[in-house]
Amino acid sequence: MNQIHSHSQDLQATLNAIAEQLQALAADHQDNPQQLLAILRTLEKTHQEIRDRWFQHALPDNRQDFYTLLQDIEANGGWPYIERMRLQALLARLENNPLDPD
């Protein structure tokens, strides 16, 4: 049990380090929407690849294990989802803050 807990802590430490790197990368490009969009697209693509390549294949094949997974999902923040900015929200922002004509 301690080994599982240790692996979980190692994984969380690695994920935290990756998250910090992503935050720093985004901060470095905070004034460039094209670069930030590239970062978001990469995150979304990575999310899809992990889900389709590994996660779906790792799903439990019996009810007890599946129920345990569902309990974990519910207890630890729900289903991972990457929300896309709606085009209407983007257009509304432009209406409220029109670009200065040069």
Task: Return the domain boundaries, the chain.
Answer: 2-96
Would you say residue 96 has pLDDT above 80? no
C-alpha distances (whole Å) from 33 to each of 17, 19, 41, 71 are 24, 19, 12, 38
How many DSSP H helices and E strands does the chain contain?
Answer: 5, 0
What is the percent of the chain with per-residue pLDDT over 70, rounded to a whole number?
A: 85
101 pLDDT band, cuts 50/70/90, is low
